[in-house]
Structure 1
Amino acid sequence: MIKNEQATAGQNLPYIAGITLIATLGGLLFGYDTAVISGAERSVQNYLIDSQGLSTWVHGATISSALIGCIIGGAISGMFASGIGRKKTLIVAATLFFLSALGSGYPEFLFFDGEEPSMGLLYMFNFYRVIGGIGVGLASAVCPVYIGEIAPANLRGRLVSLNQFAIIFGMLVVYFVNWGIASGQPIEWINEVGWRRMFLSEAIPAGLFGILLFFVPETPRYLSMAGRDEEAMKILTKVNGPETARKILADIKNTVEHHSGKLFSYGATVIVIGILLSVFQQFVGINVALYYAPRIFESMGAGKDASMLQTVVMGIVNVIFTVVAILTVDKWGRKPLLMVGSIGMAIGMFAIAGLSYYEVIGISTLVFIIIYTASFMMSWGPICWVLISEIFPNKIRGKAVAVAVAAQWAANYFISSTYPSMMEFSGAFTYGFYGVMSALSFLFVWKMVPETKGKSLEEMEALWTGKSGVVAEDKAMLAGRSKV
């Protein structure tokens, strides 16, 4: 208790909170950009696809084009984060969000005089959606890392979890924005103008994010790795107080100096765990539940209005249980939350599979979908990002997070794109598959994932040094560090 009080005594909580809130705008834009298409999808289909007699394959490729950008953004995030820094990478992401909002809303800009649908216009729309997706990929990788590298160890879980809350909140915001734009308007206006305003609305939070980023510091971990120790010390002191700051900076310098920075310099285990965390987060089927929720409820017998209401109920539940994770992650730990969440998701999905097999439609289906999504939101939703931001050693964090996030978006694309064909084969099989993945995620966490609650980012390296062949003196040095 005394040690913990000493560690928290010098913390500048208002400053930490301000930096975190600005950084989580990247998470809000992540959710906003990925969900804005839900309200505009049918109008985009009418305006750019059906008007030209194009196939449903082109429709699917257009709606999911942003995910291609997400994979690219995730893959290059490590190069950007390590090369130009965490802060500048987020500024790049904000710029891409802004350009995507303007371009997706008005793809005629620069290259077309009229507004008649054409293949060229379709190409430009997809180009701007991919640009936004790259921004999402960069933000999804770097926002948790930025927060994790700024936050004190005792607050890191909660603060990084706020990024997941911002993602879900961003989705809810854009649902209401889309509803507000379309409410009371004739379908002809929505198909011609309304969908454009939905995309253009993203320019407001994107511009605000870009401006506010100029008022936050670079992370001390990056500054120290770049040889800018004085600047790192100033930020660490402002966040943690001078005594704790000196200890953290010494630990950072030790970890930076003793490793090459190659991706597998700490062994393959930490990389494999990072990738599997990302893959399991998607293979449990969460984005199917989020992207296709209205269609799922309609297929189960709900009318159009009822399905939208049930989707709103599910969205509110998502926010509530994400808050549960924020409040408990630094008290209960990462592993317990993940394991409890896996059990809840497995129960929900296996029940839905059984109901689908016996063609039972009713309130019970909604109940088990809520059990499933609530379990995800209190566990795998935020905690996966917490672990990805903290388990990788300083020297390889940028590269390793890039690999994990690229794997996550690739898994997202695979699961989202295979859902329609799997449902055509068998609904019971589809939901049963997600249930099996949920059960396997429990075994994976139980056997492979270490508990990281309360450890500094530098102490985290001691988890992997014994498995990667680090020399004995380095292991002794790492093992002997005190918590900060």
Structure 2
Amino acid sequence: MEEEQSVAKLPLIEAECSARLGISNIDYDQDQHGGVGSLDSAGAPVETRSTAVLCICTFAAACAAFTGGCLASYSSLAESGIIADLGLTVTEYSVFGSIMTGGAMLGAVISGRMTDFIGRRRGAWLLDLGRLSLGIGFGLTCYVGPVYLAEITPKNVRGLLMSISQSMTGYGASFTFLVGSFVTWRSLAIIGCIPSLLLLLALFFIPESPRWLDYIENQRLQQNSDDNVLNLFRRKYLHIVIIGVGLMVVQTSDGLCGFLFYMSEIFDSAGISSTLGFILVAVVQIPSFVLTAALIDKFGRRTLLMASATGQCLGCFLTGLSYFLQDVDWWKEASPILALIGVLVYMGSYAFGMAQIPWIVVSEILPINVKGSAGTLCNLVNWFCSWVVSYTFNYSFSWSPTGTFFIYAGMCGFGVAFIAKLVPETKGRTLEEIHASLTHIMQ
């Protein structure tokens, strides 16, 4: 009975969220939600105003994601210049390459509670302070952005807008690969400040999440909450936590940070021009991100995730095979081409879904009453796995390039199985419908 009442309230919740933002949800009756010809209190068309609000909100989240992409790929471009100018050893550069993920773990620890305490919009203001420690800023915004967009966008365009925003991480990486091929590592660091300034400006024009406002209001009235770490392991939420944490492990344990942070070393050891390799990676990734945004609400999250993980598995296998051919001294002339194809397949496949969809799904499946602690846990796991991969990649690569990439191919294969078995499809459903279906599974 309680579940039926909850489901019955879903249109009202969705309508209230739309009203608070000035967004007309086209999934409902236009007469009830200010259809195309309606005017707001200022006399402006509701549809025009709501589109502008969503565009600004998406732009703000996209700037945060773009900055993160620049940060993630920076060390890959800067590796040779930094080592040459500063004379770093392998160990010292491994610390440099992985220290951002350490800072991101600190940001992850406070991200969930922070978003519940001061809201989604103002949480991103801390990015400016986070520039003092890039990892902390990235750890904050990579969670705040998807949650904010998930809570403000109508269900019929949620996947599209969130995919566009999250794809900006890849666009930032591609931008860094292209620009970094022609400028010094110091100039590249300065250029990376531009999207942060744009984000700072956009924050003056975006509203607060209506779902968070309702949550805070209910908290004041009820004076109770399920939002603590211990409650995450109750039967009611355990299934959701497993999905969220599992997706974070799948996204980061497939060797991505190794590819991003040490791509120049991969190209050099395979006998490929780093400049050519970086440009080709950028060229391959951009259409993959566009394709994901176009298809995510048509084919769904699960289908694209499985296709992406399968492609990553193939890319890791081909890259490992190229080094194996070098090891056995057989068909060595084909090894550089095979390594390049492997890297391009991997990065293109990552851009096709794994880059953005795990964060989209996590922000959709977490109930708002545990979103703070659950989001912190998922974010922390994500960055811990990223730190492990980025710190150990140089050592494992020195031990055996072949073995390193075959191990990551196995992790990608595990990701395919995990997604097929546990990850739900969330396209075309309100957040409340998603939460009701997942919590019902464990009751």
TM-score bin, normalised by smaller chain: 0.7 to 0.9
Structure-1 separation of matches of 2:84 and 2:396: 26
The answer on whether the counterparts of 1:164 and 1:322 sit within 8 Å (CA) in structure 2 is no
Query: 1:42: how far off?
Result: 4.4
- Unaligned runs of at least 5 residues, structure 1: 101-130, 183-193, 230-252, 470-484
- Partner of residue 419, structure 1: 393
- Partner of residue 174, structure 1: 176
- Partner of residue 41, structure 2: none
Task: Give the letter aligned to residue 334 of structure 1.
Answer: R
State which of 54, 60, 77 in structure 1 corresponds to 2:111.
77
Q: Cα–Cα, structure 1 residues 37 and 301, in superposed 2: closer, same or farther, change >3 Å? A: closer
State which of 412, 437, 445 in structure 1 corresponds to 2:411.
437
Structure-1 separation of matches of 2:240 and 2:103: 26
Structure-1 separation of matches of 2:182 and 2:84: 20
Asked if 1:275 corresponds to 2:245, the answer is yes
State which of 324, 327, 343 in structure 2 corresponds to 1:357.
324
- Partner of residue 241, structure 1: none
The answer on whether the counterparts of 1:25 and 1:209 sit within 8 Å (CA) in structure 2 is yes
Asked if 1:31 corresponds to 2:81, the answer is no
Asked if 1:385 corresponds to 2:385, the answer is no
Aligned-pair identity (%): 27
- Partner of residue 59, structure 2: 21
Asked if 1:310 corresponds to 2:277, the answer is yes
The answer on whether the counterparts of 1:95 and 1:210 sit within 8 Å (CA) in structure 2 is no
The answer on whether the counterparts of 1:349 and 1:432 sit within 8 Å (CA) in structure 2 is yes
State which of 216, 224, 227 in structure 1 corresponds to 2:206.
216
Structure-1 separation of matches of 2:354 and 2:148: 20
State which of 185, 196, 206 in structure 2 corresponds to 1:206.
196
Structure-2 separation of matches of 1:398 and 1:32: 27
Structure-2 separation of matches of 1:324 and 1:257: 45
- Partner of residue 28, structure 2: 7
Query: 1:176: how far off?
Result: 4.5
The secondary structure found in structure 2 opposite 1:378 is: helix
Query: 1:44: how far off?
Result: 4.2
Query: 1:86: how far off?
Result: 0.9
Give per-residue Cα distances to partners, 1:394-429, cap 9 Å, x unaligned. Answer: 111222122111111111111122222222222221
Structure-2 separation of matches of 1:308 and 1:296: 12
Task: Give the letter aligned to residue 21 of structure 1.
Answer: F
Larger mean Cα displacement after TM superposition, 456-465 or 217-226: 456-465
Structure-2 separation of matches of 1:258 and 1:336: 38
Structure-2 separation of matches of 1:30 and 1:370: 21
- Partner of residue 437, structure 2: 463
The answer on whether the counterparts of 1:96 and 1:135 sit within 8 Å (CA) in structure 2 is yes
Give per-residue Cα distances to partners, 1:151-184, cap 9 Å, x unaligned. Answer: 11111111111223211122233344445543xx
Q: Cα–Cα, structure 1 residues 430 and 203, in superposed 2: closer, same or farther, change >3 Å? A: closer
Structure-2 separation of matches of 1:199 and 1:358: 37
Task: Give the letter aligned to residue 281 of structure 1.
Answer: Q
- Partner of residue 111, structure 1: none
- Partner of residue 127, structure 2: 93
Structure-2 separation of matches of 1:181 and 1:87: 34
Give per-residue Cα distances to partners, 1:189-234, cap 9 Å, x unaligned. Answer: xxxxx72x433333332222112202101111111112199xxxxx
Superposed counterparts of 1:97-112, under 5 Å: 97=131, 100=132
Asked if 1:332 corresponds to 2:304, the answer is no
Q: Cα–Cα, structure 1 residues 57 and 366, in superposed 2: closer, same or farther, change >3 Å? A: closer
The secondary structure found in structure 2 opposite 1:395 is: coil
Asked if 1:260 corresponds to 2:260, the answer is no
Give per-residue Cα distances to partners, 1:297-350, cap 9 Å, x unaligned. Answer: 211122xxx222122101221121111111111110111111122222222222
Task: Give the letter aligned to residue 143 of structure 2.
Answer: A
- Partner of residue 153, structure 1: 155
The answer on whether the counterparts of 1:37 and 1:63 sit within 8 Å (CA) in structure 2 is yes
Asked if 1:142 corresponds to 2:144, the answer is yes
Q: Cα–Cα, structure 1 residues 377 and 205, in superposed 2: closer, same or farther, change >3 Å? A: closer
Q: Cα–Cα, structure 1 residues 228 and 177, in superposed 2: closer, same or farther, change >3 Å? A: farther
- Partner of residue 308, structure 2: 341
Q: Cα–Cα, structure 1 residues 445 and 152, in superposed 2: closer, same or farther, change >3 Å? A: same
- Partner of residue 120, structure 1: none
The secondary structure found in structure 1 opposite 2:403 is: helix
- Partner of residue 368, structure 2: 394
- Partner of residue 22, structure 2: none
- Unaligned runs of at least 5 residues, structure 2: 1-10, 12-24, 36-46, 327-331
The answer on whether the counterparts of 1:160 and 1:385 sit within 8 Å (CA) in structure 2 is no
Q: Cα–Cα, structure 1 residues 356 and 33, in superposed 2: closer, same or farther, change >3 Å? A: closer
Give per-residue Cα distances to partners, 1:360-386, cap 9 Å, x unaligned. Answer: 413233223222222221121111111
The secondary structure found in structure 2 opposite 1:214 is: coil
Query: 1:145: how far off?
Result: 0.7
Task: Give the letter aligned to residue 7 of structure 1.
Answer: Y
**Aligned-residue CA RMSD in angstroms?**
2.7
Give per-residue Cα distances to partners, 1:98-132, cap 9 Å, x unaligned. Answer: xx3xxxxxxxxxxxxxxxxxxxxxxxxxxxxxx22
Query: 1:444: how far off?
Result: 0.4
Structure-2 separation of matches of 1:310 and 1:65: 25
The answer on whether the counterparts of 2:99 and 2:387 sit within 8 Å (CA) in structure 1 is no
Structure-2 separation of matches of 1:24 and 1:402: 21
Structure-1 separation of matches of 2:178 and 2:416: 35
Give per-residue Cα distances to partners, 1:217-253, cap 9 Å, x unaligned. Answer: 1111111112199xxxxxxxxxxxxxxxxxxxxxxx9
Task: Give the letter aligned to residue 299 of structure 2.
Answer: W
- Partner of residue 226, structure 1: 216
The answer on whether the counterparts of 1:94 and 1:209 sit within 8 Å (CA) in structure 2 is no
The secondary structure found in structure 2 opposite 1:394 is: coil
